Amino acid sequence: MVVIDIETEDGQREALRRMLTIRAFDTKAGDLFADGELPGFVHLYVGEEAVGVGACSALEADDYITSTHRGHGHCIAKGLDPKKMMSELYGKADGYCNGKGGSMHIADVDAGMLGANGIVGAGPPLATGAALTAQLKGEDKVALAFFGDGAVAQGQVHEAINIAATWDLPAVFVVENNQYGEGTPVEKQHNVQNLSETAEAYNIPGFTVDGMDITAVYEAVKEARNRAADGQGPTLIEAETYRYHGHFEGDQQPYRTEEDIDIWKDRDAIESFKQRLVDAGTITEDEFDEMKAEIDEQIETAVEEAKSAPYPDPSEAYEDMFNATVPEISQFSSQMRADGGEDR
């Protein structure tokens, strides 16, 4: 992946590009879902772009991240290819998981992206494990876990942070507080005011930052990464943000109003970052429009290619379970295939 050095002008433009790419990708994914093009569940990251891009900008190329069911933004922030992501959303053979995973399970382990996740709260223990590998092997790598405000209520999240804290593992825990877990507001799920407060219980630093401000996220994660890499253990960072779309596409959202959403849209992270870059002379309005047009075209191409890409061969369904070959799968599957083959 290309590492973003957000302290340079090039890096700032690249960060803006990734935020725009996330928005374009997920807006498109929402449209495609509405058109009945995409199977399964689609959870969109629109509105939360500053968190993923700000955090990943503070990482080195070899660092690990773990993600959530709302993972497209993390993927793009980590430098994954929107084309292969789009193919995965369509269940095509050239997708990141060859069509086996779909939106909720995009992974690129070689790029340090240890997987989106369908189980709320399952990512942090995996990040703790990746950080353990780094510590055991003496590698200069850090593992960062993204997880939601809802996930903070999961026991395994606390267990993972406590282990990382106790063993001084090079991990960073980033809570994306988008104010809701599905339809339930954060204050109905937690008794603390700020979700970073529990850091005190693990005796690690905890911060709450403005998740609509990419610089604030970047700076907090940068400091946390430095601490982690320096052997001083994990940090818990809460980024306050908002999702503009429903929990999943198709969500009727009885739990909030358009006005609630508009309050956050007025503080839009892309808009404000762009304005800062324009004011600083890092980018002109024309260059910004050009960038946007380029990205839109890139996403359109990704969709076209994904649509025309082939589906995996049905026999692929029986591959990838084990490294070893087990007789059961081939026996049962050849029986099932011989059975149902004709009328499929």
Partner 1 sequence: MSTETTSGTGPADTQEMTFREAIRLALREEMERDEDVFIMGEDVGKFGGVYEVTGDLVEQFGEARVRDTPISEAGFMGAGVGAAATGSRPIVEIMFSDFIGVCSEQIINQMAKNRYMFGGKTEMPITVRTTEGGGSGAASQHSGTLHTWFAHFPGVMAVAPGTPESAKGLLKSAIRSDDPVIFFENKEIYGQTGEVPLDENYTLPIGEANVEREGEDVTVVATQRMVGESLELAEELDGQVSVEVIDPRSLYPLDTDTLVESVKKTGRLVIADESPLSYGTHAEIGMRVMENAFFSLDAPIQRVGVADVHIPFSPVLEDEVLPHASDVEAAINRIV
Binding site for partner 1 (CB under 8 A): 39-41, 91-92, 97, 99-102, 104-105, 117-121, 150-151, 153-156, 181-184, 188-190, 254-255, 311-312, 314-318, 321, 326, 328-329, 332-333, 335-340, 342-344
* 150 contacts ligand TPP (rule: CB under 6 A): yes
| Of 91 and 181, CB closest to ligand TPP | 181
Beta-ladder partners of 210: 240
Q: How many CB atoms within 10 Å of residue 305? A: 16
Site string for Mg ion, 216-255 (x = CB under 5 A): ----------------------------------------
| Of 247 and 274, CB closest to ligand TPP | 247
* 48 contacts Mg ion (rule: CB under 5 A): no
Q: Any idea which residue has 């092997």 for tokens? A: 137
Triad 213, 217, 221: Cα angle to 5°:
170
Q: Which residue is nearest to ligand TPP (CB)?
A: 148
Q: Which two tokens stand for residue 227?
A: 């601490």
The 10 Å CB-count burial string (b at 16+, else e) for 258-287 is: eeebeebeeebbbebbbebbeeeebbeeee
Q: To the nearest whole angstrom, how small is the minimum distance from the Cβ of residue 272 to ligand TPP? A: 21
Residues 218-277 that bind ligand TPP (CB under 6 A): 247
Residue from 30, 95, 148, 246 in contact with Mg ion (CB under 5 A): 148
| Of 29 and 277, CB closest to ligand TPP | 29
* 148 contacts ligand TPP (rule: CB under 6 A): yes
# chain residues binding ligand TPP, by CB under 6 A: 15
* 149 contacts Mg ion (rule: CB under 5 A): yes
Q: How far apart are the first and last CA of the chain?
A: 41
Q: To the nearest whole angstrom, how small is the minimum distance from the Cβ of residue 185 to partner 1? A: 10
Nearest to 276 by CA among 19, 1, 2: 19
Q: Which residue is nearest to Mg ion (CB)?
A: 148
Residue from 23, 70, 72, 227 in contact with ligand TPP (CB under 6 A): 70
Q: To the nearest whole angstrom, how small is the minimum distance from the Cβ of residue 325 to partner 1? A: 12
Residue from 105, 118, 168, 256 in contact with ligand TPP (CB under 6 A): 118
Q: To the nearest whole angstrom, how small is the minimum distance from the Cβ of residue 265 to Mg ion? A: 17
* 69 contacts ligand TPP (rule: CB under 6 A): yes
Nearest to 180 by CA among 248, 92, 236, 235: 248
Residue positions counted in the chain = 344
Are 91 and 85 in contact by the 8 Å Cβ rule? The answer is no
Q: Which does 70 bind (CB under 5 to 8 A by kind): partner 1, Mg ion, ligand TPP, none?
A: ligand TPP
Residues 160-179 that bind Mg ion (CB under 5 A): 178
Residues 97 and 207: their CA atoms lie apart, in Å, by: 35
Residues 29 and 23: their CA atoms lie apart, in Å, by: 10
Q: Which two tokens stand for residue 247?
A: 């929990």
The 10 Å CB-count burial string (b at 16+, else e) for 45-64 is: bbbbbbbbbbbbbbbeeebb
Are 166 and 128 in contact by the 8 Å Cβ rule? The answer is no
Footprint of ligand TPP (CB under 6 A): 68-70, 118-120, 148-151, 178, 180-182, 247
